[in-house]
Chains A and B, each alone.
Chain A
Amino acid sequence: MAKPTDILPGTLDLLILRTLELGPLHGVGIADRIEQVTRGAFLIGPGSLFPALHRLTEKGWLDGEWTESETKRRVKVYTLTASGRAQLAKEKRNWKNVFTAMNRALAEEG
């Protein structure tokens, strides 16, 4: 099955955590939000979204709850847990480090 976008491994988790930092969302909401925020750079298909959501839930960083959506459908809404927040902080730092390091490396080459 074709993945919609090439995404760096691990980045999807960070994106999801960051998205949920702003408030609880259901699956489609998360995918839409990421698409919006990254201006369509990342299209998250269900084949990567749901495994990631389940993985994060298993780790205890997300909490899923069934509620009714605005269109009156039963959907599972995900919330960031306290340990998820801590993880997000950690991953943000990590990402900044990587980002800085990569930039330096690329600048040198250029």
Chain B
Amino acid sequence: MILLHRLRQVFDLLFHGDAVETELDAEVQAFYQTKVDRYMERGVPEQEARRLARMKFGHPENVKEEVRDSRTGAALASTMRTASYALRTMRKAPLFACVTILTLGVGIGANTTIFSVVSRFVLRHPPVGDAARLMALHTTQGGGQCCNNFSWPLYSELREQAKSFSGVTAYYDLLPASIDGSGEPERVWGQAVTANFFDVARLPMTVGRGFTQDEEHLPAVVLGHRLWQRRFGADPAIAGRSVRLSGRPYTVVGVAPSGFRGLDIILDAQFWVPLDNIDHLLPKTDNRTDRNYHWFAVVGHLASGVTQAQAAAELEVLGQRFAKAFPETVAAASRDTGFLMETAGSLPPRDRSAAMMFFAGLSAVALLVLCIACANVANLSLAQATGRRREMAVRLALGATRGHLLGQVLTESVLLSLAGGIFGVALSLWATNAPAAFRLAVPVPLDLSVSVNSAVLLYAFVLSVGAGILFGLAPAWSVARPVIVSALKGEDVLGRPDRAWSLRNLLVVSQISMSPVLLSATGLFLRSLGNASRIDIGFRSKGVLMMSVDPRLHGYSPERSVQLLTTVRQRIATLPGVISAACTDAVPLSGGHRSDGFEVQGRPAPSGNTSVDLYMASSGYFDTMGISRIAGRDFENETATSSRTAVVNELFVQRFFGNENPIGQRVRDGNRIYEIIGVVKNTKSRTLGEDLRPVLYRSLAQDIAADPSMSGYSLLVRFAGEPGALAKAVRAQIHALDPALAIFDSATMEEHLSDALFLPRLAGTLFGIFGLLGLSLAAVGLYGVISYWVSRRTREIGIRLAIGARIGEVQRLIIRQGMTLAVVALVPGLAAAWGLAKLFTSFLYGVPAHDAATFTLVPLFLGGVTFLACWIPSRRAAKVDPNTALRHE
């Protein structure tokens, strides 16, 4: 009851403050009145009685203040008073408030955006029950070399023997299938999992259940939430229904919860089937239980009471035991001697350090932008504060403590900063939608979506308050310690003769010194983007349309697949506007498809790297892609039964044959032997940034049965004219042959290329934005300081002019002082930039970290900008009329 009673009072205080005040006033007045009455009874005149009462009991206002301070919630109420005063102050200077909110908003927005990306890829767990105890396991080779999947026997042994896990599941992570349901025929990606997958993941299913132990061999399926909504109308009674995956009926047992896209961090799986169905959904699965083939990703759930360290220790022991027990037949590379364990949904260990480096670089840059923004705002509010020196001095003189003033200024800056934070969050809400528009040029489904979540909002809040305090400290410090006497006279409170302007100078210097770091990063990444888009890819991307199908998923045998592809190709070739058409199993610059070690028949294996990238091609492939032929001929009428032929690129010839003529020679990968019939120019194979790789093109017709592609086949069409209409026509041709075929990855080669530029484009865009932001903020800061200088020193300039200084000299004086600041700032800034540039090396395309052009242009450019920022205000100094100036103030 008492608690309630108190809450009620605090509530009254906060929201009916006026009524509480009136009552207090009445009570205190009544007290004084009673005392006055008594004096008057003794015959003292009223005026004198009042004076005596005050002398004896102090001023009523002070009494009221004592009461206010003693109340519960007094601190809160006083904060609210301070805040409302701060709001009034802001309303009086709306421009300052706007600039501050915008500047900080941009800084905070940059940071929250980067943080939402980082939290998406570094901090997020898959949406499963007890995510913190779900561990992804990897095998390591040759003394900790990271990382590989598990072979089936190894997984079985681990599952049987490891005591640290309550359950261990294995899954094959990239399984394509065609699926029925409503809408256009579609290819979707799923995973083949051991029956305990959903139990280990502890997933609360939206509909139905996970798999039971005896379903491991049955055609059952769990649908992803989006797939269920998109193709099955979110049918709540879907459990028990049958759907067709790649032509075969599967019984739906459940629907996974929304947001669950598998246990990996970026793969985007949409259905799950029990493991043994892999034999139906994938070609060539005969070696999946072989100890030499590492098919499966493995995830385990820590048993209750077992710590990560204990589990890791057990895995180490098991690894040593397994290594001893391996049969002789196991290849050296598969003698796994260790395991690596980490929380499921972490970044893949192989790419982690690079990704972390990238994120760290981005975060650092975003923080720099925010620091510059803070310094800028601090400077602005210093100027603002000098405008308020009288107000502050008056309040001090009236008895406010310095603490009050400090609190007042900090409240104002934190409020502004919070408003900036709200603006910033709005910005990053907008910005986080942008990466969804970026697409990685890889043929597998990735989930790269980023969103603003509660962690991000918390981060934004902390950042806002931090920024508010940071930028508020400088003005708060100076405002709270004004020289009262000069302030009341309207003179400069901050103008202590001994350390004139040092605070402002410090701010500007720190601001300018940060900009070379930003700007050189910007320069490097823009150069890198420029380079990347000018990289010689080796084929002509303009005027090529691509479209993919996977006949295997629709029950086509290899022979019928070849037939289908050939017919489609012939029909497309007759379409108006089509110059040529061809088929391949993988479009270049898709991140890598297949490769194998090669040797020349009858010669010892060459030393060094023998890995060769493999592509299947139909006849007409090189003409369609615009890859020039150097020697020999193109594929013609190869059939599945004729002896294997191959076309190789120049680098292949160089690596395996030196200066010899390769035409007619035979090369082999394992047990397949190819006769070389032609040589073509080099092209980029996997990524834009790579060094050239040796490539072998083999005949699609000959190898499609022996080595079928997992991700389907692409039709390539060289055309003249408009791609939109042609794409429709090609689609119609495919569906005329088989209306059930799912068509995917439909794009022009130029779109594909721009997807391949994803990373350099992303880095270029981000750093471009950050760099320009930082630079403009710093330039505005310098400009502001110099302008302020000029206006403060009008009288001095007037005197100089009056005693005969020339205008040019005065202008030079101003510029010299500004540029001194700039140079003092630029030297450490450039040194830091030089040091930090090394961090970016691995993300740059054909640009050395210490790129001469960047490191020449950036200082010049910065010098120019700072000069401009000094020169513009210096002209105002030159226009000073000595007569007016001397009468000034």
Interface 1/0s, chain A 16-52, versus B by CB < 8 A? 0000000000111000000000000000011110111
The residues of A that contact B32 with a CB separation of less than 8 Å are 46
**Residue pair A58, B72 in contact (C-beta under 8 Å):** yes
- CB-CB under 8 A for A28 and B34, given A1-B58, A50-B28, A60-B5: yes
The residues of B that contact A2 with a CB separation of less than 8 Å are 58
Task: Tell me if B731 counts as interface (CB < 8 A to partner A).
Answer: no
**Residue pair B70, A74 in contact (C-beta under 8 Å):** no
Task: Tell me if A75 counts as interface (CB < 8 A to partner B).
Answer: yes
List residues of B whose CB falls within 8 A of some A CB: 1-2, 5-6, 9, 23-24, 26-28, 30-35, 37, 56-58, 60, 62-64, 66-67, 69-72
| Closest beta carbon of chain B to A70's beta carbon, Å | 10
The residues of B that contact A52 with a CB separation of less than 8 Å are 70
**Residue pair B62, A59 in contact (C-beta under 8 Å):** no
Kindly identify which residue among A1, A47, A48, A73 contacts B34, using a CB–CB cutoff of 8 Å.
Answer: A73
Interface 1/0s, chain A 64-75, versus B by CB < 8 A? 000001010111
- CB-CB under 8 A for A47 and B30, given A58-B9, A58-B71: no
Kindly identify which residue among B2, B56, B66, B72 contacts A50, using a CB–CB cutoff of 8 Å.
Answer: B66
The 6 closest A-B pairs by CB, nearest first: A51-B70, A28-B34, A46-B63, A1-B58, A60-B2, A75-B30
Q: How many angstroms from the CA of A109 to the CA of B713 in the assembled complex?
A: 104
| Closest beta carbon of chain A to B525's beta carbon, Å | 62
**Residue pair A55, B58 in contact (C-beta under 8 Å):** no
Q: How many angstroms from the CA of A7 to the CA of B660 in the assembled complex?
A: 110
The residues of A that contact B28 with a CB separation of less than 8 Å are 46, 50
Q: How many angstroms from the CA of A83 to the CA of B6 in the assembled complex?
A: 14
The residues of A that contact B70 with a CB separation of less than 8 Å are 51-52, 54-55
Q: How many angstroms from the CA of A51 to the CA of B63 in the assembled complex?
A: 8
**Residue pair B34, A46 in contact (C-beta under 8 Å):** no
Q: How many angstroms from the CA of A51 to the CA of B28 in the assembled complex?
A: 11
The residues of B that contact A73 with a CB separation of less than 8 Å are 30, 33-34, 37
**Residue pair B71, A46 in contact (C-beta under 8 Å):** no
Task: Tell me if A92 counts as interface (CB < 8 A to partner B).
Answer: no
- CB-CB under 8 A for A46 and B58, given A54-B71, A55-B70: yes
The residues of A that contact B30 with a CB separation of less than 8 Å are 26-27, 69, 73-76
- CB-CB under 8 A for A27 and B27, given A51-B69, A55-B70, A83-B2: yes
Q: How many angstroms from the CA of A83 to the CA of B32 in the assembled complex?
A: 30
Q: How many angstroms from the CA of A26 to the CA of B33 in the assembled complex?
A: 13
Which residue of chain B has its CB nearest to the CB of A83?
Answer: B2
**Residue pair B6, A46 in contact (C-beta under 8 Å):** no
Q: How many angstroms from the CA of A55 to the CA of B6 in the assembled complex?
A: 11
**Residue pair B2, A51 in contact (C-beta under 8 Å):** no
Which residue of chain A has its CB nearest to the CB of B6?
Answer: A58
The residues of A that contact B57 with a CB separation of less than 8 Å are 45-47
**Residue pair A76, B27 in contact (C-beta under 8 Å):** yes
List residues of A whose CB falls within 8 A of some B CB: 1-2, 26-28, 45-48, 50-52, 54-55, 58-60, 69, 71, 73-76, 83
Kindly identify which residue among B1, B9, B33, B58 contacts A45, using a CB–CB cutoff of 8 Å.
Answer: B58
The residues of B that contact A58 with a CB separation of less than 8 Å are 6, 9, 71-72
14 interchain pairs, CB-CB under 8 A: A45-B56, A45-B57, A46-B31, A46-B58, A47-B58, A47-B62, A48-B66, A50-B28, A54-B71, A69-B30, A73-B33, A73-B37, A75-B27, A76-B23
**Residue pair B63, A50 in contact (C-beta under 8 Å):** yes
| Closest beta carbon of chain A to B53's beta carbon, Å | 10
| Closest beta carbon of chain B to A87's beta carbon, Å | 11
The residues of B that contact A74 with a CB separation of less than 8 Å are 26, 30
- CB-CB under 8 A for A59 and B2, given A1-B58, A27-B27: yes
**Residue pair B62, A51 in contact (C-beta under 8 Å):** no
- CB-CB under 8 A for A51 and B66, given A1-B58, A83-B2: yes
The residues of B that contact A55 with a CB separation of less than 8 Å are 70-71
Q: How many angstroms from the CA of A18 to the CA of B6 in the assembled complex?
A: 23
| Closest beta carbon of chain A to B74's beta carbon, Å | 10
The residues of B that contact A54 with a CB separation of less than 8 Å are 67, 70-71
The residues of B that contact A75 with a CB separation of less than 8 Å are 27, 30, 34
**Residue pair A71, B34 in contact (C-beta under 8 Å):** yes
**Residue pair A47, B2 in contact (C-beta under 8 Å):** no
Which residue of chain A has its CB nearest to the CB of B60?
Answer: A46
Residue picked from A26, A58, A76, most chain B C-beta under 10 Å: A58
The residues of A that contact B71 with a CB separation of less than 8 Å are 54-55, 58
The residues of A that contact B64 with a CB separation of less than 8 Å are 50
The residues of A that contact B5 with a CB separation of less than 8 Å are 60
The residues of A that contact B37 with a CB separation of less than 8 Å are 71, 73
Q: How many angstroms from the CA of A47 to the CA of B56 in the assembled complex?
A: 11
Q: How many angstroms from the CA of A51 to the CA of B68 in the assembled complex?
A: 8
Known: A27-B30, A55-B71, A60-B5. 8 other contacts (CB 8 A): A27-B31, A45-B57, A46-B32, A46-B58, A46-B63, A69-B30, A75-B30, A83-B2
| Closest beta carbon of chain A to B167's beta carbon, Å | 58
| Closest beta carbon of chain B to A15's beta carbon, Å | 17
The residues of A that contact B27 with a CB separation of less than 8 Å are 27, 50, 75-76
The residues of B that contact A48 with a CB separation of less than 8 Å are 66
Q: How many angstroms from the CA of A26 to the CA of B6 in the assembled complex?
A: 22
The residues of B that contact A26 with a CB separation of less than 8 Å are 30
- CB-CB under 8 A for A51 and B34, given A27-B27, A59-B2: no
**Residue pair A28, B2 in contact (C-beta under 8 Å):** no
The residues of B that contact A51 with a CB separation of less than 8 Å are 66-67, 69-70
Q: How many angstroms from the CA of A28 to the CA of B33 in the assembled complex?
A: 10
| Closest beta carbon of chain B to A79's beta carbon, Å | 15
Q: How many angstroms from the CA of A107 to the CA of B72 in the assembled complex?
A: 41
Q: How many angstroms from the CA of A96 to the CA of B66 in the assembled complex?
A: 30
Q: How many angstroms from the CA of A69 to the CA of B63 in the assembled complex?
A: 21
**Residue pair A69, B34 in contact (C-beta under 8 Å):** yes
| Closest beta carbon of chain A to B67's beta carbon, Å | 5
The residues of B that contact A59 with a CB separation of less than 8 Å are 2, 6
Q: How many angstroms from the CA of A58 to the CA of B67 in the assembled complex?
A: 12
Q: How many angstroms from the CA of A19 to the CA of B33 in the assembled complex?
A: 22
The residues of A that contact B67 with a CB separation of less than 8 Å are 50-51, 54
- CB-CB under 8 A for A28 and B58, given A50-B66, A58-B9, A74-B26: no
The residues of A that contact B1 with a CB separation of less than 8 Å are 60
- CB-CB under 8 A for A28 and B66, given A46-B58, A60-B2: no
| Closest beta carbon of chain A to B25's beta carbon, Å | 11
The residues of A that contact B62 with a CB separation of less than 8 Å are 1, 47
Q: How many angstroms from the CA of A51 to the CA of B5 in the assembled complex?
A: 18
